[in-house]
Amino acid sequence: SGAVTDLAEARRGVLARESKGSTGMEHGIALPHARTEAVTRMVCALGISRAGVDFDSMDREPARVFFMVLMPMSVTVEYTRLTGALMRALDEPGREALLAAKSGREAVEILAHGMQAH
């Protein structure tokens, strides 16, 4: 999309943020994120691991749904709104629907529908 201007710097930003404390939430959700000069606008990516990944989550459960957010240094309110909508959309039925998705497109549609419904 052209919004990521420096992939290596974006990666360093996420890893630096994770080194301060895991963004592994509860119930198999991880929200890795970073504020970085490496993007021109907010960029999001969805990842799903049916097997789960040890992400040092609050409840010690493996993370299965990953939502990564990269945002310019100036973004604040939009990120807060986004994470609130995500957490509501990723309730138990939302998580289970995502894990059952047959394709990336279906997963994105499920997530978008869940965010609009809340």
Q: Structure pTM?
A: 0.82
**Pick the catalytic residue: 27, 33, 113, 118?**
33
Q: Place 74 in a pLDDT band, splitting at 50, 70 and 90.
A: confident
Judge whether 1 lies within some domain: no
74: domain CATH number is 3.40.930.10
Give the per-residue pLDDT at 36.
94
Give the C-alpha separation, 6 to 10, whole Å: 6
Would you call 33 a catalytic residue per the annotation?
yes
Enclosing domain of residue 112: 7-117
Least confident of 48-52, 64-68, 82-86: 82-86
Give the per-residue pLDDT at 41.
92
Question: Mean pLDDT, the chain, as a whole number?
Answer: 89
Judge whether 14 lies within some domain: yes
Judge whether 97 lies within some domain: yes
Please say whether the dihedral angle defined by the alpha carbons of residues 15, 19, 25 and 26, taken in this order, is positive or negative: positive
Overall number of domains in the chain: 1
Judge whether 2 lies within some domain: no
- How many other C-beta atoms lie within 10 A of the C-beta of residue 88? 13
